[in-house]
Amino acid sequence: METAKEGPTMQVTFDTQVWNRMVFPERYSDRPNFAALLKINHASRSGPVRGFLCESFGTIESIKREDRARFHLQDVPKVQVTHTSHGPGLHCLNIDIQAQHSL
């Protein structure tokens, strides 16, 4: 979490299964979580939440949906966690998960 002039902001990675609903909540007005989607959309547009898609987005979407389970079962990903302190009470964790792209 980092502090901006307007107040705290949180950087959030949106999963490939959810980002579209968050960006275009009006397309999902029939969903039970529609009110939550509107709140997340508003928070990302007004500043408290800063959303982004990580580089794996392209990698995951390039694998056919029916092949994804097999792809993920073939390999235990390499996970690396790094911590950065930005002062008292302000910390950042970066979690890097890498798959074998040759698969």
Per-residue pLDDT tens digits for 60-87: 667 788 887 887 777 677 788 998 888 8
pLDDT given at position 1: 43
Cβ atoms of 9 and 47 within 8 Å: the answer is: yes
Q: Which two tokens stand for residue 6?
A: 């307007």
Rounded to whole angstroms, what are the CA distances from 43 to 3, 7, 51, 68? 15, 12, 10, 31
Domain ranges of the chain: 2-53
- Return the higher-pLDDT residue of 99 and 36: 36
Residue 59, pLDDT score? 64
pLDDT at 60: 66
Predicted pLDDT of residue 2: 43
Who has greater pLDDT, 4 or 26? Answer: 26
Inform me whether the pLDDT recorded for 14 exceeds 80: no
What integer best gives the mean pLDDT of the chain? 78
- pLDDT, tens digit, for every residue of 36-47? 989 988 988 888
CA distance 1 to 74: 35
Please give the share of the chain, as a percent, with pLDDT higher than 90.
13
